Structure 1
Amino acid sequence: MPERLARRLWFGVGPGIGVADASEIVRTVEYADRAGLDFFTVSDHPYFGDRLEAYSSLALLLGRTRNITGVATVTNTPTRPVPLLARSLATLSVLSGGRVVYGVGAGGYWDDIVRFGVDRLGSAAAVRAMEEAIGLVRALHGGGAPVTLDGEFTRVDALDPAAVPAPLVWTGSVGPKSLAVTGRTADGWIPGNAADWRSERYRTSRPLVDEAAREAGRDPADIATVFNLPGRVTDAPLPSTRDATGRWLGGSTGQWTEELTEAVLEHGASGFVYFASGDPSGRIGIERWAEEIVPAVREAVAKG
């Protein structure tokens, strides 16, 4: 099982999830594994027919790699029976040697979720369902006595936990109630809408996570912040790495290195996901990410 994410730097790649891109997705994750990246991500939107199903993708990609960790960012809780999800996670963990993280969300696309045949939940109920799911997934790992739960959203009767350590939990929390769940229960948080360390979303949301963690008797430093970073890796420096709204655009390898090092040392960032599918430079972009930017950031951070 990977050590606690908040206590190390992790660098990942988002290879895409489109059915039409399947072969390139496999090649990208295999390359990321060889290049020493720490994790890859797949999104979970099973109601879209042009996208690969997340957990099937995780299984295949973990089977094609040796060291890299996989995570669905984030699992669409309303569309998956939680006890079966727990078994899927335990199975992936056993088969991969612990290389899986449980990414979880409350469900943000309710019109589409309803089309999938799921009853609509209000926002408060969806957050309660997410917290209940996190607790049950953890309870169904680690061995021990059978688990019975007469929950608000799931019932199980005397289910044996898998004799496998529970995975790390990352959330994609957005609203105050779900951010509080992150503070109480999670190991990591992925700010929504690719918000980064300079964004208003991050500045207003992370304190809610920290407050809930302290109220639960936890150290907020144990909850990692993992930033999604769509952006270009360019040959020459850009005049500005951000647009007029402050949103990250990318830049040269030097500009990426400077910004990410600042994010770690001054803003407490613990992880970054480079979205290879969003960079028109394609393979060149991911190679610069894995072979130039990531080693440079690690070195700069080590020097402090």
Structure 2
Amino acid sequence: MSTPTSTAAGTGQFSQRRGIRLGYQMPNFSHAASPRALFGSVIAQARAAEAAGFDAAFVMDHFYQLPGIGAATEPMLEAYTALGALATATERIQLSTLVTGNTYRNPAMLAKTVTTLDVISGGRAVLGIGAGWFELEHDAYGYEFGTFTQRFERLEEALQIIQPMLRGEHPSFEGEWYRTREALNEPRVRDDLPIMLGGGGERKTFALAARFADHLNIICNASDIPRKLDALHQRCAEIGRDPKTLETSFLVFGFIDADGDRARGLQRDLIERTEVEPQLDRHFVGDPDDVAEQIQRRVLDHGIDGVIVNMVGNGHEPGALESAGKALGPLVHRG
């Protein structure tokens, strides 16, 4: 592979904006009575999360539903179109994907897309990004999937273009996968739009997060968190970065209901309708206080800064996010 060259700065300056200690992910669009009614529910969830004190609302960047959540044929919205609409329907909450598949978009165009979302939202966009992994979508939509190594090569090149474009630079880049020539990115409302990487790879993902990211959303079993944080600290040490400048979060599958028995029923329902082995070590089940205790003990006590909660069973129900935010907010919003 050719050696990339770029006019971009090395690791750049990392964002000092308010972080994401409590996020809400919307992974399920199967609860609406019809496609016409669907987006009203999405708006209602984003507004409910905002009112409940969540820092950010996330949608997935997928075209088909994921095997661990439902059938591939279930509804799935295009991420950035949905986020642009949510920007006009909310006021304070940050907006992002969890996370953008790098393989689906040209990196310069992605920088332009997320910057436009930032303009529309008045400075509330976060770029969530990862290497991409869902082969079915690539095959169906005609995107090159490539090998594991190639996808991370592409992500590394993409970040060398995207980061300087978000910071107001005009990168010229010549790599194996991508090239730009003094790429402009205007208008922008700020030069510190945060970059969030998502994944659990201790060598490749964590090394890229140490170099380029403001935030790392760690995808793993809860029991693996101590090892993951040790690896992340090693990657930061290798480039001389203080790990305290890299915010971390953990993706939680939350089955939360005032009735703990119903919460356990929601978990059973998900397990029964999916075709893959459930990742039970990522499940947090019970009433809001029970789940708060589990998150504190299994996640936050190990040194993770915050959580992003996916309430696939009932996040769309009135009052669900209010009770979750009331229980979880005090764990992460301190001082």
* Structure 2 equivalent of residue 223 of structure 1: 246
Q: Alignment partner of 1:283: what SS?
A: coil
Query: Residues 284 and 47 of structure 1: is their aligned pair in 2 closer, same or farther, counting only changes over 3 Å?
Result: closer
1:294 aligns with 2:317: no
* Structure 2 equivalent of residue 184 of structure 1: 211
Q: Distance in 1 between matches of 2:128 and 2:197?
A: 6
Cα deviation, residue 47, structure 1? 5.5
The number of aligned residues is: 292
* Structure 2 equivalent of residue 26 of structure 1: 43
Query: Residues 244 and 56 of structure 1: is their aligned pair in 2 closer, same or farther, counting only changes over 3 Å?
Result: closer
Is the 2:256–2:311 Cα contact (8 Å) retained in structure 1?
A: no
1:116 aligns with 2:130: no
Is the 2:16–2:192 Cα contact (8 Å) retained in structure 1?
A: no
Is the 1:263–1:269 Cα contact (8 Å) retained in structure 2?
A: no
* Structure 2 equivalent of residue 41 of structure 1: 58
Cα deviation, residue 203, structure 1? 3.3
Larger CA deviation: 205-214 vs 63-72: 205-214
Query: Residues 55 and 246 of structure 1: is their aligned pair in 2 closer, same or farther, counting only changes over 3 Å?
Result: closer
Per-residue CA deviation, residues 124-177 of structure 1 (Å, 9 max, x unaligned), is 111121122122111112334x32111221111122243441421111223332
Q: Distance in 2 between matches of 1:79 and 1:10?
A: 28
Q: Alignment partner of 1:231: what SS?
A: strand
The code of the aligned residue for 1:12 comes to G
Cα deviation, residue 294, structure 1? 3.0
Root mean square deviation of aligned Cα: 3.0
Is the 2:165–2:171 Cα contact (8 Å) retained in structure 1?
A: yes
Cα deviation, residue 77, structure 1? 0.7
* Structure 2 equivalent of residue 171 of structure 1: 197
1:81 aligns with 2:115: no
The code of the aligned residue for 2:289 comes to G
The code of the aligned residue for 1:286 comes to L
Q: Distance in 1 between matches of 2:59 and 2:192?
A: 20
TM-score normalised by length of structure 1: 0.84
Larger relative contact order (CA 8 Å, sep ≥ 6):
2
Structure 2: gaps of 5 or more residues: 1-13, 66-72, 268-277
Give 1:127-166 correspondences, 5 Å limit.
127-144=152-169, 146-162=170-186, 163=188, 164-166=190-192
Match of 2:27 among 6, 13, 16: 16
Cα deviation, residue 298, structure 1? 4.8
Structure 1: gaps of 5 or more residues: none
* Structure 2 equivalent of residue 98 of structure 1: 123
Query: Residues 27 and 219 of structure 1: is their aligned pair in 2 closer, same or farther, counting only changes over 3 Å?
Result: same
Cα deviation, residue 235, structure 1? 2.9
TM-score normalised by length of structure 2: 0.77
Larger CA deviation: 183-192 vs 65-74: 183-192
